[in-house]
Amino acid sequence: MLPIFIVRTSLLREKLKEYVLSDRGVVKAVVDCKKKIMAIGGVMHADEEHVLLEEESAQEDLWGINLHLEEKGEEWIEFDSMINIRPRQGNRSRGVEDRALQEQIRDIVSSLVQ
């Protein structure tokens, strides 16, 4: 298993390929919407979430996504993670139900991955 890496500055998309843990070309990531950073490299989103919590991120700011490296456009970001199930925040599914939050996550990922 690769170490979990916190992306704080721009990273080349090609570099993400080192963190692919499946034959589908998918990288799991957890985005901190307040700090505008993300963690990659975990087997499960909960692993990356744990690392960000240790970095003093607030759990309500963390959202799990999957990055499909072979996809282009909006399809390369998939909003699907068990850590996203948050009834107290109005999110009752593994996806990110709020469209504005989805756009915020897309903007953060776009600023971090070139």
Per-10-residue mean pLDDT of the chain, 114 residues long, equals 88 84 82 97 93 97 95 93 96 97 97 94
The reported pTM is: 0.93
Domain of 41, in residue numbers: 5-112
pLDDT value at position 23?
66
Which tokens sit at 78?
């998939």
pLDDT score, position 106? 97
pLDDT at 64: 98
Please tell me the predicted confidence (pLDDT) of residue 25.
Answer: 84
Instruction: Give yes or no for a contact between 40 and 4, defined as CB atoms under 8 angstroms apart.
Output: yes
Strand partners for 32:
37, 62
Residue among 97, 93, 109 nearest 39 (CA)? 109
Per the structure, the count of domains in the chain is: 1
Residue 32's SS3 state is: strand
Q: Let me know how long the chain is.
A: 114
Nearest residue to 83 (alpha-carbon basis) of 38, 110, 37, 48: 48
